[in-house]
Amino acid sequence: MKIYNTLSKRKEEFVPLEEGKVKMYVCGPTVYNFIHIGNARPMIVFDTVRRYFEYKGYDVNFVSNFTDVDDKIIKKAIEEGVTADEISKRYIAECKKDMEAMNIKPATKNPLATEEICGMVDMIQTLIDKGYAYEKNGTVYYRTRKFKDYGKLSHKNLDDLRSGERTLLVTGEDEKEDPLDFVLWKPKKEGEPAWKSPWSEGRPGWHIECSEMSKKYLGEQIDIHAGGEDLIFPHHENEIAQSEAANGKEFAKYWMHNGFLNIDNRKMSKSLGNFFTVREISEKYDLQILRFFMLSAHYRSPLNFSADLMESAKTSLERILTAAENLRFLSKNAANDTLTDEENELLDKSLEYVRGFEKAMDDDFNTADAIASVFDLVKFINTTADGSRSKKYLDSLYETLSRLTDVLGIIIDRKEEILDEDIEAMIEKRQAARKEKNFALADQIRDELLAKGIILEDTREGVKWKKA
């Protein structure tokens, strides 16, 4: 299995630190609002990477954090007149709902930055003791030039950064020994959440969070560190500097980064009005379609999101689901249960598509080519499965299709059909719950309907529903 390593800028054979095990850390979202579809791409991509490792028999320790203390969270809390903790807890819960709807497996551990402050303080103290960090008026900075390998991930030169990238310089420039030094700990401002430390009452810098959480739950060395390519610099570069200086050993063997997501060939931004949350997309499409769309391109390639491309993904996914449904129907009505010689030969032939799928995934998780192999299998199913086939033959094909689609996180069992009158009854129950301000029950009913493929839309004229 080969992985493109951002560190070496080439594909490398994957050799785990410990045989049969994979230690993987993926940077999670900052929880101050609903996650957007840009957040969804790394979630889907690296969940698929994890699933393929598990398919190959690896035991995967998959850690992905929630950044639950940040300027954006504090700003949102002030706007709403609530605590930062209330904001982060609310949006962690909403994020988990969206992740479940995208069929993302729960992480082995989802650490919260606010619960790991003590470890961060200890790591910062280690960096000070080793001469890699210093304190000025309650703020602790990292001595960037002290770490000789700084820039090895982003392939940036420190002197070039100093002369050309003024926007990279953080506040407090006059206090720093060097303008490129970055913050490890900062004193609190009025109204901000804060924790005690030897230097000041305050909070950690963003970069130190992941260094500490990765170390605590995976160890000082890990196999894979992953995230969006926007995190390469400065976040991941700074993580390497902190972790390797503190621990005295290589931090991560392989660095994986997914490409950017554009909307209608333009960068996603609120100012352009092309900013979509996963929740908004779920009101128009089953999120299995979003997942399938995200995997239709290689994870390192830029990906363009548009309504036309989502409709195309919906049609393509439908072909796979229809083939699976047809196999289930034929199996249920199959007359015999003994494989014929011809069927044995056909099953041997079907393994070609499994090999094609594995070859694609072994080549830096090329999901686009892996999906092409799934479609080859679907075509094979459609041309060889009919009412004359044995139940064993049909079930074997279904099991093969199910195994491959499960790696992609695609669920091929169709949602149970629900009668219109049952939908209306559940909507009435939800409306009653909302009147009673029982929003937890109202959300639960909405989620139950969504799980059955029913999308609700609250309008001025009342609640409208449609099938995904």
Structural domain contains residue 269? yes
Higher pLDDT, 97 or 164: 97
Residues 395 and 441 both lie in one domain:
no
**Residue 163 pLDDT class (50, 70, 90 cuts):** low
Instruction: Look at residue 125 and tell me if it is in a domain.
Output: no
pLDDT value, residue 385:
96
The string of pLDDT tens digits covering residues 317-353 is: 999 999 999 999 999 999 888 999 999 999 999 999 9
Report the share of the chain in percent with pLDDT over 70.
96
Question: Are 79 and 29 members of one domain?
Answer: yes
pLDDT of 464 reads: 84
Q: Are residues 350 and 427 in the same domain?
A: no
State how far the Cα of 281 lies from the Cα of 258, in Å rounded to an integer.
21
pLDDT at 55 over 70: yes
Q: Are 214 and 220 in contact (CB under 8 A)?
A: no
Does 287 score more than 90 pLDDT? Answer: yes
- Model confidence over 218-248: pLDDT tens digits? 999 999 999 999 999 999 999 999 999 999 9
- Between 404 and 425, residue with greater pLDDT: 404
> Where is pLDDT greater, at 171 or 262?
262
With 60 as the cut, is the pLDDT of residue 172 above it? Answer: no
CATH code, domain with 108: 3.40.50.620
* 330 and 389 together in one domain: yes
User: Tens digit of pLDDT for each residue in 79-94?
Assistant: 999 999 999 999 999 9
Examine residue 6 and state whether it is found in any structural domain, yes or no. Answer: no
Q: Same domain, yes or no, for 336 and 280?
A: no
Residue 384 contacts residue 390 (beta carbons within 8 Å): no
With cut-offs at 50, 70 and 90, classify the pLDDT of residue 293.
very high
Pair (279, 355) in one structural domain: no
Alpha carbons 301 and 288: distance in angstroms, whole number: 21
Q: How confident is the model at residue 174 (pLDDT cuts 50, 70, 90)?
A: low
Q: How far apart are the first and last CA of the chain?
A: 37
Residue 109, pLDDT above cutoff 70: yes
CATH assignment at residue 321: 1.20.120
449-458 long-range contacts (CB < 8 A, ≥24 apart) are 449/418, 449/423, 450/101, 450/282, 451/415, 452/415, 452/416, 452/418, 453/286, 453/415, 453/418, 454/418, 454/423, 455/282, 455/283, 455/284, 456/283, 456/427, 456/430, 457/283
27 close to 234: Cβ distance less than 8 angstroms: no
Quick check: is 124 in a domain? no
Which segments of 166-306 are extended strands (E)? 182-187, 202-204, 222-228, 252-258, 261-263, 266-267, 303-305
* Domain presence at residue 83: yes
Are 178 and 142 in contact, with CB atoms under 8 Å apart? no
Mean pLDDT of the 300-319 span: 96
Q: Which residue has the tokens 């100093």?
A: 162
Q: Which of 305, 331, 362 is the last residue of a domain?
A: 305
Q: State percent of the chain over pLDDT 90.
A: 81
129-161: pLDDT as tens digits: 999 999 999 999 999 999 999 999 999 988 877
Coil, helix or strand at residue 261: strand
Q: Tokens for 113? A: 């930055």
> Would 433 be classed as within a structural domain?
yes
Q: Is residue 143 part of a domain?
A: no
Same-domain pairing of 275 and 358: no
- Asked whether residue 394 carries a pLDDT value surpassing 50, the answer given is yes
**pLDDT exceeds 50 at position 169:** no
Determine contact, residues 73/32, Cβ cutoff 8 Å. Answer: yes
Number of domains the chain contains: 3
**Rounded to the nearest 5°, which phi and psi values hold at 298?**
-65, 140
Instruction: State residue 54's pLDDT score.
Output: 98
Whether residue 379 is found in the same domain as residue 293: no
**pTM assigned to the model:** 0.87
Q: Give yes or no for a contact between 299 and 44, defined as CB atoms under 8 angstroms apart.
A: no
User: Which of these, 73, 66, 70, lies nearest to 109 by C-alpha position?
Assistant: 66
pLDDT of 160 reads 78
The overall average pLDDT reported for the chain is 93
Mean predicted confidence (pLDDT) in 371-384: 98
Per-residue pLDDT, averaged over 382-397, amounts to 96
Cβ-based neighbour number of residue 118 at 10 Å: 12
Domain that holds residue 444: 420-467
pLDDT average, residue stretch 267-279 = 82
- Say what the pLDDT of residue 173 is: 54
Does 107 reside within a domain?
yes
Contact 46, 24 (CB under 8 A): yes
Q: What is the pLDDT of residue 462?
A: 82
Distance of CA 91 to the CA centre of its chain: 15
List Cβ neighbours of 228 (8 Å cut-off, separation of 6 or more): 27, 38, 41, 42, 257, 258, 260
Which of the four pLDDT bands, split at 50, 70 and 90, describes residue 267? Answer: confident
pLDDT class of 454 with cuts at 50, 70, 90: confident
Residue where one domain finishes, among candidates 305, 329, 361: 305
Binning pLDDT at 50, 70 and 90, where does residue 170 land? very low
pLDDT band, residue 165 (cuts 50/70/90): very low
**The pLDDT of residue 420 is above 90:** no
Query: Residue 386 is encoded by which pair of tokens?
Result: 């009919």
Please check whether residues 364 and 401 belong to one and the same domain: yes
Would you list the DSSP string of 27-94?
A: ---B-SSPPBHHHHHHHHHHHHHHHHHHHTT-EEEEEE-BB--SHHHHHHHHHHTS-HHHHHHHHHHH
